[in-house]
Structure 1
Amino acid sequence: MFFLKPFLTVRPPSCAKPRNEMIFLGSKNGWETTDPDRAEAGQGESRKRPINKKEPLPAKRIPSTPAHLTDEGQVAWGRLTALLDRMGVLTEADGFALERLCDCYSEILALRELVDANGRIYETTSTQGELVIKANPAVAILADADRRFKSYLVEFGLAPATRSKVQIKADDDQEDQFAEFFG
């Protein structure tokens, strides 16, 4: 028989908080244990990998615009670099991913024009001489480009649902400049 575990553990206020609680995380089995002390100490979750303290930190810099981008891609590059720089998430290492994002955007614009001009369906004649209605292949290509575009938006935190998951690291350049003078 299938039954659900409770979402919250109800305890009287006098009881001490247990070290590990069962919480719903939407995982494979639906339930995982979390060690609050480890999470607060920045060591990651008890069942997940610890936080990488030696993660490479590329310089926060706007990458140069690739010359091969289309006109639409170059406009998108300018708008996105300004936006991502204001958000504080753009680094010199993001050039290739941003290039793909701009390529996908210009491809989407071209495919939309093609679909608008030719329609979502077209009529053709079969080998028996009957009228056959088929889907325009540009519609499927457009759907694929939209999926790729969305995945790149997610990577940069530009989709509403993923914006809250993006973490901005503090800029330590100021501290490093003074560290050499003050120890």
Structure 2
Amino acid sequence: MENMAGRPIKPIDIVVLDGKKHLSKAEIEERRALEAKYSPNADNIQCPDWLDEAAKEHWAVLSKDLLDLELLTNIDIGALAICCDAYSKVIKSNQEIEKHGMLVTYTNKGGNKNVVPNPYVAIANKYSDIYKRYCSEFGLTPTARLRLATPKEAPKPQTDFERKFGDV
């Protein structure tokens, strides 16, 4: 979900760790309750049948790691499948490029032969972009992992005022 400015809404725990003080304790607890209410289950994660073997192998690796990190839920299956399918298509495209080269000879309708870029180069680039986008969504790149990281902050000692009056 995004706000009107187009920036992604941060989970409340990240807002708190960032030191944002604009929310009261009641507002923080309300946000935590809403986030928990809208957290999907992860009890039915299965690899889709329509994926080819390379995509299924990639699924096995990614789904295990994402489940261990609690970043994969039932409603993410489609997105992860697209990610794995794109990975497989990049591999297939690169195999075709290796087999035929970066340039291929094309015979036009007039019978003239022209050297043109191998169409599999464009296909590999297209699926690489798709793969990169989905990897970013799942925190599978170094930059994406940094965005997901929630640094543990040591609790600050309470001041005399806070001990007497709490968080007013």
- Please indicate, yes or no, whether the TM-score normalized by the shorter chain is above 0.5: yes
Give the residue type in structure 2 aligned to 1:84: L
Q: 2:88 aligns with which of 93, 106, 127?
A: 106
Q: Secondary structure at the match of 2:104?
A: strand
**Counterpart for residue 54 of structure 1:** 34
Q: Secondary structure at the match of 2:148?
A: coil
What is the aligned-residue identity percentage? 25
Contact 1:61 1:90 in 2 (8 A): no
* Structure whose CA Rg is larger: 1
Q: How does 1:72-111 map to 2 (within 5 A)?
A: 72-111=54-93
**Counterpart for residue 143 of structure 1:** 125
How many Å separate the matches in 2 of 1:74 and 1:89? 19
Structure number with the higher helix fraction is 2
| Structure 1 residues 70 and 131, CA gap change in structure 2 (3 angstroms) | closer
Q: Secondary structure at the match of 2:116?
A: strand
| Structure 1 residues 132 and 63, CA gap change in structure 2 (3 angstroms) | same
Number of residues paired by the alignment? 129
**Counterpart for residue 138 of structure 2:** 156
Contact 1:58 1:92 in 2 (8 A): yes
Alpha-carbon shift at residue 129 of structure 1 (Å): 7.0
TM-score (norm 2): 0.65
The C-alpha deviation readout for 1:63-120, integer Å capped at 9, x for no partner, is 1111111111111111111111122211111111111111111111111111111111
Q: How does 1:29-44 map to 2 (within 5 A)?
A: 36-38=20-22
Alignment pair present for 1:68 and 2:50: yes
Structure 2 gaps, min length 5: 1-6, 8-18, 151-168
Query: More relative contact order in 1 or in 2 (CA 8 Å, sep 6+)?
Result: 2
Q: How does 1:19-30 map to 2 (within 5 A)?
A: none
How many Å separate the matches in 2 of 1:149 and 1:52? 32
Moved over 3 A (4+): 39-44, 124-131
Question: Pairwise CA RMSD of aligned residues?
Answer: 3.1
How many Å separate the matches in 2 of 1:76 and 1:132? 38
